[in-house]
Structure 1
Amino acid sequence: MKGILICGHGSRDPEGVEGFKALVALLRKRYPDRMVDYGFLEFSHPVYAAAVERMYVAGIREIIAIPAILFAGGHAKNDIPFEMNTLQSQYPDLRIRLGRHIGITPSILQLAGKLVTAAEAAHPPMDRQDACLLLVGRGTSDPDANSDVAKMTRMLGEGLGFGFSTTAFIGVTQPLLKDHLPIIDHLPYKRIVALPVFLFTGVLLKKIYAQLEEFAATTSKQIIATKSFECDELLLQTIDERIREVQEGSPDMNCQLCKYRTQIIGFEEEVGKEQVGHHLAVKGILFEEEEKPGEKKTVLTTVKKILGI
């Protein structure tokens, strides 16, 4: 029997974790002939190591690992590959094949458009030429991932027929949402449709909603915000595509603009940077469940959870 490991980011928000688990539950129904399991990079349990051990104990000797990450920042390019390589070295008779992150696909663009239409439907009709589409990304230290959010903004803005489209981020990089909203306020558009590009709810998404609500109290413009992507069939179709790529031997990432492999202006010193994980301090710190088969709670197991081992 073969397995599929869905590699989540993890969240400090229980609602975000439950949303991710709901996605895994749907994938289990979708792949009844596979053992579908999941793990998290940080905060939540189980960590990847525990999920892989659980699959190994169940007799799995080949795992397709799919990063449930929207854009290829440090998590998809560095942290998850490091974790999978480390685990592969610990199980000589286990084969782990890592697939691509979710990325921008026709299905994801269609899903984003669906969310925009649903949000607009709750308000009086307005010509989209009189509205501004605002995509809000998480923000990373990787310009390649940030540029994908900007690319998605452009494709949706033109494809959906908005009068203007722009991009902001909730952290790490510029422009920050709280700084960008006052600038948009000066533009001649009656409505701002904010689309947070997040798979599930969580701390950052709620922060985005809070900032939008605060801004709405200071402007004459109408502010509309979409939901997160959640467990939509269109997201599941993209995950299907990523699994097929691994099966067919073609899970190619975009390495042409990767700051770790190509000299990108302003990031030249990061070419060839050692691939190591950066999440030991927060790996599995939020306890949810016993991870290992038959494990009993002891002081030692609690310490192991704190250390993420």
Structure 2
Amino acid sequence: MKQGILICGHGSRDKEGVAHFRVLVEKLQQRYPDYIVDYGFLEFAHPVYAAAVERMYQAGVRHIIALPAILFAGGHAKNDIPYEMNSLQQQYPDLTITMARHLGITASLLQLSKLLIEEAESQATPLPREEACLLLIGRGTNDPDANSDVAKLTRMLWEGMGFAFATTAYIGVARPLLTDALPVLEHLPYKRIVVLPVFLFTGVLLKRIYENVAAHQQLSSKQYRCTQSYGSHEWLLQAFDERIQEALEGSGNMNCQLCKYRKQIVGFEADQGQDQIGHHLQVKGILFEEEEKPGRKKNILSTVKKVLGI
């Protein structure tokens, strides 16, 4: 029986972000040659999950590990991707889809965060970390469980790397917003602010973070240094390895202790027991097929389709 790994991305309006995601796909294809490795998106990009599952099924795959390329357990990891996989599972009686966990905080993610911070520091004049502040910026969701993971990552890096101070902000939905946090940092006695956006790849939101920080830098006497996104580094691939192995062993269970859909969480009591369904039905995909598949060169047909907009 052929087995497959479906890398479940979110999708982006930013073509550069989608291209970076496909680099990850290529690396995982090389890493798992005995599996058929494919990918799909929730929204804004193609292929959608259904198209990816269909072509895997046609290739003879009868067991798929659905691997969320999602950092923390917000609505996409808890609702949207499981809903899509459950719906697809019902369409293929002889196909088994096994959900893997989201990435979460792992030792390898901490190591990669440390590396990115050190690279950003190396591009500036030396300064003791006792005189610097660390700012982590998350995506921001309406799920406090996911938001708190960004704050936990902040704390672990703060203590592990010896910064004088560290704090967390978000680019949307959750507070404090980045635009609210930056003025507050001006009142703190630190010469340098190292900014770590907690994002896998570039995209609309990451570029907005860089723009906001750059605009603020023009008005500040402090020194701001932004890191790159996590990308497809070996340490990130190791985190994916852990999730794949868990799925194969049947131990990839999500932590539900603080899930607002299962427990009464302060301020979110009304969410307990709600149906967990997807909400991306109106924004699935773009065009009829992706412009370029990982590991395949563009051909004349894809060029013609791009020119014609089909």
Q: What corresponds to 1:193 in structure 2?
A: 194
1:43 aligns to what?
44
3-state SS in 2 of match to 1:254:
coil
Structure 1's 108 and 215: CA in aligned 2 closer, same or farther, altered over 3 A? same
Residues 1:100 and 2:101 are matched in the alignment? yes
The match for 1:240 is 241
Partner SS for 2:147: helix
TM-score, normalised to structure 2, is 0.93
The Cα of 1:285 is off from its aligned counterpart by 3.2
Q: Does 1:69 align with 2:66?
A: no
> Is 2:8 the partner of 1:28?
no
Give the deviation of 1:289 after TM superposition. Answer: 2.3
Tell me which amino acid in the other structure corresponds to 2:202.
Answer: T
Could you say what secondary structure the match of 1:61 adopts?
A: strand
CA distance change for structure 1 residues 85 and 290 in 2, over 3 Å: closer, same or farther? farther
User: Which residue matches 2:183?
Assistant: 182
Between the aligned residues of both structures, percent identity stands at 68
Q: Is the 8 A contact 1:43 1:286 kept in 2?
A: no
1:139-150 to 2 correspondences below 5 Å: 139-150=140-151
* CA separation of 1:213 and 1:285: change in aligned 2, threshold 3 A: same
In structure 2, how many angstroms separate the alpha carbons of the residues matched to 1:218 and 1:29? Answer: 46
User: For the residues of structure 2 that align with 1:37 and 1:173, how far apart are their CA atoms?
Assistant: 32
1:116-265 alignment runs, 5 A limit: 116-265=117-266
Equivalents in 1 of 2:119, 2:42: separation in Å? 32
In the TM superposition, what is the alpha-carbon distance from 1:290 to its structure 2 partner? 7.4
Contact 2:45-2:290 within 8 A present in 1 as well: no
* 1:191-242: CA deviation from partner (whole Å, max 9, x where unpaired): 0000000000000000000000000001100000000000100000000000
Tell whether the 8 Å contact from 2:8 to 2:67 is kept in structure 1 after alignment. yes
TM-score of the superposition, structure 1-length normalised? 0.93
- Specify whether residues 207 and 245 from structure 1 end up closer, same or farther in structure 2 by C-alpha distance, changes over 3 A only: same
Query: What is the match of residue 300 of structure 1?
Result: none
Who is 1:301 aligned against?
none
One-letter amino acid matched to 2:187: H
Unaligned runs of 5+ in 1: 292-296, 298-305
Q: Secondary structure at the match of 2:282?
A: helix
**Structure 1 residues 271-307: Cα deviation after superposition (integer angstroms, max 9, x where no partner):** 111121101121113665279xxxxx9xxxxxxxx9x
* C-alpha separation in 2, matches of 1:71 and 1:132: 24
Q: Which amino acid aligns with 2:84?
A: E
Contact kept in structure 2, 1:63 and 1:96, CA below 8 Å: yes
Residue 295 of structure 2 is matched in structure 1 by none
Shift of 1:177: 0.2
8 Å CA contact 1:40–1:46 kept in 2: the answer is yes
Name the counterpart of 1:7.
8
- Give 1:34 shift: 0.3
Which amino acid in 1 is paired with 2:149? D
CA contact (8 A) 2:191 2:223 kept: yes
| Aligned residue-pair number | 293
Letter in 2 for 1:10: G
Q: 1:231 to 1:290 in 2, by over 3 A?
A: closer
The aligned counterpart of 1:275 is: 276
8 Å CA contact 1:107, 1:234 repeated in 2:
yes
Contact 1:28–1:36 (Cα < 8 Å) also in 2: yes
SS for the counterpart of 1:133 is strand
Q: In structure 2, give the amino acid aligned to 1:232.
A: H
Q: Report what 2:55 is aligned to.
A: 54
| Aligned residues of 2:138 and 2:170 also touching (Cα < 8 A) | yes
How many angstroms apart in 2 are the aligned matches of 1:270 and 1:35? Answer: 38
CA contact (8 A) 1:78 1:275 kept: yes
Offset at residue 115 of structure 1 (A): 0.2
SS at match of 2:46: coil
Alpha-carbon distance in 1 for matches of 2:276, 2:147: 20
Write the deviation string for residues 24-77 of structure 1: whole angstroms up to 9, x where unpaired. Answer: 000000000000000001111000000000100101000001100001000000
Q: Distance in 1 between matches of 2:73 and 2:233?
A: 21
